[in-house]
Amino acid sequence: MSQKTILVGVAGASASGKSLLAETLIKEFASEHVCMISEDSYYKDQTHLTMDERVKTNYDHPESMDHDLLLEHLKMLKNGESIEVPEYDYSDHNRTKNTRHVEPAKVIIFEGILLFVNPAIREAFDLRFYMDTPLDICLTRRLQRDIVSRGRDMDSVISQYMATVRPMFMQFIEPSRQHADLIIPRGGKNQIAIDLIKTKIHSLVN
């Protein structure tokens, strides 16, 4: 593909609405080539650990991510090369054996909690957005989502939140907002923000 791929990064707290914003943008660009990749796909392989050990991993610390592979993939997409994105299973706390083939589309939206922490990764994005959603709303949404879709119970979500999710948000994620081009309040249903982002992406693509 000769056309340049526009790489968009959406960061913010867990359950702040990053995926919803990305999915909404994809729908709005219906006829064009836009796709989404989650940073969660780049959690390190944990096959060598037992399930009891995997449960104890700090999934909100940058060390839990294979950011080297993510950076390599960002560079490959920019060079017009396709990538094989690992598939992640939250219930198993591990990568599966499958990958997703992703072609260098016109626009690729990456969403993830730690995307703006590593300087080389954040600089690879043409546009950077940060979801500014209050933490109590994020926790409520995360409780519902993790129990319904990620094989978790209330006690495990709350104890993980207190032990790692909130402290790592304070240490790494919240400070990374300073690197965003645009801070988005009211989550993934903020239609004015969505319209502004669409206009900017259109101007970069054309």
Ligand X SMILES: O=c1ccn([C@@H]2O[C@H](COP(=O)(O)O)[C@@H](O)[C@H]2O)c(=O)[nH]1
Ligand Y SMILES: Nc1ncnc2c1ncn2[C@@H]1O[C@H](COP(=O)(O)OP(=O)(O)O)[C@@H](O)[C@H]1O
Residues at the interface with ligand X (CB under 6 A): 14-15, 18, 40, 43, 59-60, 90, 93, 113, 160, 165
Minimum CB separation of residue 29 from ligand X in Å reads: 21
Cα dist from 78 to 7, 100, 108, 119, 121, whole Å: 8, 18, 10, 17, 13
How many CB atoms sit inside 10 A of residue 48's CB? 8
Binding mask 73-112 for ligand Y (x = CB under 6 A): --------------------------------------x-
Q: Of ligand Y, ligand X, none, which one sits near residue 90, judging by CB under 5 to 8 A according to partner kind?
A: ligand X
71 lies in the site for ligand Y, by CB under 6 A: no
Q: How near is the Cβ of 14 to ligand Y at its closest, in Å?
A: 5
Considering the rule CB under 6 A, would residue 9 count as an interface residue with ligand Y?
no
Q: CA Rg, the chain, in Å?
A: 17
Tell me how far CA of residue 156 lies from CA of 6, 140, 142, 163, in angstroms. 38, 14, 12, 10
Three-state DSSP state, 99: strand
Q: What residues form DSSP beta bridges with 34?
A: 107
- Tell whether residue 44 is among the known ligand binding residues: no
| Choice from 6, 8, 19, 93 touching ligand Y (CB under 6 A) | 19
Say how far apart CA 9 and CA 129 lie, in whole Å: 6
Nearest distance from C-beta of residue 89 to ligand X, angstroms:
8
The Cα 155–Cα 161 span in angstroms is 10
CB 80 within 8 A of CB 5: yes
Residue nearest to ligand X (CB): 14
Specify the residue, 133 or 190, whose C-beta has the smaller distance to ligand X: 133
* Residue 120 or 163 having the CB closest to ligand X: 163
Nearest distance from C-beta of residue 50 to ligand Y, angstroms: 27
Give me the 143-182 binding string for ligand Y, x by CB under 6 A, dash otherwise: --x-------------------------------------
Pairing type for strands 94-102 and 6-12 reads unpaired
* d(C-alpha 130, C-alpha 60), whole Å: 17
14 assigned to a ligand binding site: yes
**Which positions touch ligand Y (CB under 6 A)?**
12, 14-20, 111, 141, 145, 187-189
